[in-house]
Amino acid sequence: MSSSYPERSETVGEALSRMIASLQAPRVTLREILRDFGDHGALLLCALLTIPFLLPVSIPGVSTVFGLAILLLSVGIVANRTPWLPARIMDRSLDASALKSVLSRGLSVIERIERLVRQRIGVLTHTTFANRVNGMGIFCGAVLLMFPLGLVPFSNTLPAFAILFLSLGMAQRDGLLVIAGHAMLAATTIYFAALAYLVLFAGRSLASFAWG
């Protein structure tokens, strides 16, 4: 079965540059950010929405809004349907100046990755089944991205890179990048499981000490 995702005439880096240039008002909503990118589909939007998480900075409200947006977009990818985003997410106001600064810094990351992208290992990107599996990977990455672990190192960065690799790999037909995305997703899951184990171990140790 053939994939339903068309080739992209514009790279994510080019789309991101246009987005940065369009951020002129003091506040901006996700609806305004995505207004000019509907024709590029859910994959490009998922890639763009990971940018604020790739750098060691924090923008209030972004984790919840962008994370949930990626989650809902991934549902559309898995179902092979046009994604739907609720007004509560689309109309959430964000600091445009802070967002523009983060996106500008993230642009160099995107451009470096895109220089390595090329079409290869087509079996991982050219079928509806493969794209549904990859879409589930993006869904899982979004769930991990939304975990309330903002103070934990790499808790946002690792799942963001997984989503970015999967989105770019699917959009640009790069199966090797898709593999990298799934590998990063597995690494994130292991990292979170290790954190949970350490917390549980520390809790048990404290309880044993307290009740000596």
pLDDT reading at 23 higher than 60: yes
pLDDT reading at 67 higher than 90: no
Please calculate the CA angle 22-87-5 and round it to the nearest 5 degrees: 70
Mean pLDDT for the stretch of residues 99-105: 80
Mean pLDDT for the stretch of residues 145-162: 82
**In the prediction, which pLDDT does 178 show?**
96
Mean pLDDT for the stretch of residues 11-20: 79
Better-predicted residue by pLDDT, 110 or 37: 110
The answer to whether residues 34 and 160 touch, using CB atoms and an 8 Å cutoff, is no
Please calculate the CA angle 98-102-106 and round it to the nearest 5 degrees: 170
- The overall pTM is greater than 0.85: no
- Distance CA(174)–CA(180), nearest Å, equals 10
What is the percentage of the chain residues whose pLDDT exceeds 70? 83
Q: Give the contacts of 162 (CB within 8 A, at least 6 positions apart).
A: 137, 141, 144, 181, 182, 184, 185, 188
pLDDT reading at 4 higher than 60: no
**In the prediction, which pLDDT does 36 show?**
61
Other CB atoms within a 10 A radius of the CB of residue 204 amount to 10
Task: Compute the mean pLDDT over every residue in the chain, rounded to the nearest whole number.
Answer: 81
**In the prediction, which pLDDT does 1 show?**
40
pLDDT winner (highest mean) among 21-30, 42-51, 56-65, 189-198: 189-198
178: left (phi over 0), alpha (psi -120 to 50) or beta: alpha
What does the longest C-alpha to C-alpha distance in the chain come to? Answer: 66
DSSP, res 7: P
Which ranges of the chain would DSSP assign to H, the alpha helix? 12-22, 30-34, 41-49, 62-79, 87-90, 96-114, 128-145, 157-171, 175-211
Other CB atoms within a 10 A radius of the CB of residue 178 amount to 26
Q: Are strands 93-95 and 27-29 parallel, antiparallel or unpaired?
A: antiparallel
- Distance CA(147)–CA(128), nearest Å, equals 29
**In the prediction, which pLDDT does 2 show?**
45
**In the prediction, which pLDDT does 39 show?**
47
Of the candidate ranges 8-12, 51-55, 193-197, the one whose mean pLDDT is the lowest = 8-12
**In the prediction, which pLDDT does 199 show?**
83
Better-predicted residue by pLDDT, 44 or 211: 44
